[in-house]
Chain A
Amino acid sequence: MKLFRLRIIRTLLFVFALTMGAAFEARGQGAKLQLDKLQRLADKAAETVDVSLDNQTLQVASKFLKSEKPDEAAIKQLIAGLKGVYVKVFEFDRAGEYASADVEAIRVQLRTPGWSRIVGVHSKRDGDNVEVFTWLEGGNIAGLAILCADPTELVVVNIVGAIDLEKLSQLEGKFGIPKLNLEKGRQHE
């Protein structure tokens, strides 16, 4: 009986250590999400878009967009504090071609300390599910994640760096970020 208890305790300790390890790993990576596991959905998706803009690339954009041109100036200002923009879009021909388990790898990271869900919209009629998460550092927003899970489409947007939520909608349609009607969503809040 003692041996049995000892084994249970050992197993529990092992599971605890693994969970803590995963949590620390997620915490250590900051606002940048590990999106690689979604890549297997590309085999099932009818349309796939994968955009990766790292810090260096964004700095070039921020430095060389022209302040004199209004459209470029607004974006230049908005991306000045960004360190990365990562977008994955998967479009499927039929509903049910991806499972919630496929998105779980992302949700696990968004459940770690540091991430807070600020918007969650779920439509039973359409099956649409939009969630916006922020990553806080020193009380300031230092990252953002948008998860849109429709029955036939999955969109994950991960923005790393200081971002002004008021101007977030300006990024829609830019840097590979699809139009998500965030401004409309804000008006409905």
Chain B
Amino acid sequence: MIRAYYTATAGAKAYQKNLDVIANNLSNVQTQGYKALKGEFSDLLYTNISRTGENLMVGSGSKLLKTDSIFSEGAFLETGKETDYAIVGDGFFAIQKGDEIFYTRNGAFSVAEIDDELYLTLDGGFVLNSNGEPINLSAESEELEEGYELEKIPGVTKFTNNFDLERVGDSLFAIINEDAEYEVAESPDLMVGYVESSNVEMVSELTNMIQAQRAFQFNSRIIQVADEIEQTINTLKG
């Protein structure tokens, strides 16, 4: 089979995966706290196709090399709920599920009653405050200033490098780099009654989608051309 066949197939597969990334972004355009993903390509191995020792290096197509998150801020939506929080600027909320701690920008919390105590939760996990403890809304706490009860406010964790986090679904991130540096902000900058919406930009995603579709189309045209050539060669004799 001629190389162009495999090259074009590799290219078509890469654009198909790119379309998967774009589709995921578009389907999460309303998800609170969602951060858009973008894909990057690279070309593949170059081999020498000359038979006489001359240097004729030809590539073998392209592949989707990696996907990176974009940590820009989404727009703030006013909900008016007292248990909805939005972080202004950088940082994540800490959610404890079992023994593990996850991080998220989604501040649409709910109140759950466990053992006659009211806890602030997100999706079954406890929201942690600045001291790293689950927030107990019905507990007694000392008033610090102007009715500002620090222990009942969600803590904001700021990472030196946001890319030490990886996505695990449900708008949650987990730390993948053991040497990740992070610190809990002393006075978190929060807005109550607001939620951060997703940072997906519809226009960019639609443009990327059109690009991916056209690139996919051209590569499948090459597959057709390669097929026709094989047919030509096949009918040379008989």
Instruction: Answer yes or no: do A and B interact.
Output: no
- Interface residues of chain B, those whose CB is within 8 Å of chain A, are none
- Interface residues of chain A, those whose CB is within 8 Å of chain B, are none
